[in-house]
Structure 1
Amino acid sequence: MRAVFYIASHSTDGSRPGIKEIAENINSPEHFLAKILQKLSKGGIVSSIKGPHGGFFIESQGLHRPLADIITCLEGDDIFTGCGMGLSYCSESNPCPLHHEFKKVRNQLTHMLYNTTIGEFNGELLAGALTLNK
């Protein structure tokens, strides 16, 4: 999520940060980040250009995609439907101990992730009102 926010905030001015720059600015190991960005690229969340002036970027229409697309691309959609304890048999008719309370939180999280766009925080990130690194 941090990498996508960083790339999005730099995509509006045509910048294409590389892995090293992104890793430094979001405090993430480069090797780990490379694997994440590869998945995000295959999933169409981010795009990349190779070469000396290459790097990662998000197309303008991609800035309007919901944050849920990032989660689904990387982890699948279990967070939106799954059990808080990871139990496969948990359901309304066979609830786990956390079912009812977790369902409320899961529904709020789902709503937020589907109703918040990738590019929504660009202005505040660029102005320094929000941070991606300590």
Structure 2
Amino acid sequence: MGFFSKTVEYAMRAVFYIASKSQDGQKVGIKEIAENINSPEHFLGKILQKLSRQGIILSVKGPNGGFYVDTKGLNRPIADIIIALEGDDIFTGCGLGLSYCSESNPCPLHNEFKKVRNQISHMLHITSIGEFNIELLNGTLTLNK
């Protein structure tokens, strides 16, 4: 079980995969991406459309087309992927999902969850999409079993 929704998990895996392939100018198709990140192709297609509309990834149609990430995209924070798909609630929301939880009206997990949430938020905002490319390409990190 992951911390993120399935949508965000597939999106991050896909963007990392696309970014690693874009390093040497490649463009990758949806079938290749889905196979390499263990994602259902149809669901992934919808995710990639949203990310493309937000400019996080780019696409080119045609026989030599596919998805890619440019230099600007490689430098964007991972948080942008989450925000593009689900907004910023993960960075501000209650750990129990309570709408009324706040500093003045905290839930039982509020103070401890806030610490963890802030650490995760910080990591996602300072870590760039392209930061893992070298390790993905040399096999130190993996997106598939």
TM value normalised by structure 1: 0.98
Q: Secondary structure at the match of 1:100?
A: helix
Q: Secondary structure at the match of 2:142?
A: coil
- Are residues 1:95 and 2:106 paired? yes
Q: Secondary structure at the match of 1:95?
A: coil
- Deviating runs (4+, > 4 A) in structure 1? none
Distance of 1:98 and 1:36 partners within structure 2: 31
* Structure 2 alignment gaps of length 5 or more: 1-11
AA aligned opposite 1:111:
H
Give the alignment partner of residue 5 of structure 1, picking from 8, 16, 19. Answer: 16
Q: What corresponds to 2:71 in structure 1?
A: 60
Q: What corresponds to 1:48 in structure 2?
A: 59
TM value normalised by structure 2: 0.91
Q: Secondary structure at the match of 2:67?
A: strand
- Are residues 1:111 and 2:122 paired? yes
Aligned residue pairs total 134
Give the alignment partner of residue 96 of structure 2, picking from 64, 85, 107. Answer: 85
Instruction: Summarize deviations over 1:47-99 as a string: whole Å, max 9, x none.
Output: 00011110000111110100000010011000011111111110011001111
C-alpha RMSD of the superposition: 0.5
* Aligned partners of 1:12 and 1:60 also within 8 Å: no
AA aligned opposite 2:19:
A
Q: What corresponds to 2:136 in structure 1?
A: 125
Give the alignment partner of residue 38 of structure 1, picking from 39, 49, 69. Answer: 49
Percent identity over paired residues? 77
Distance of 2:114 and 2:81 partners within structure 1: 21
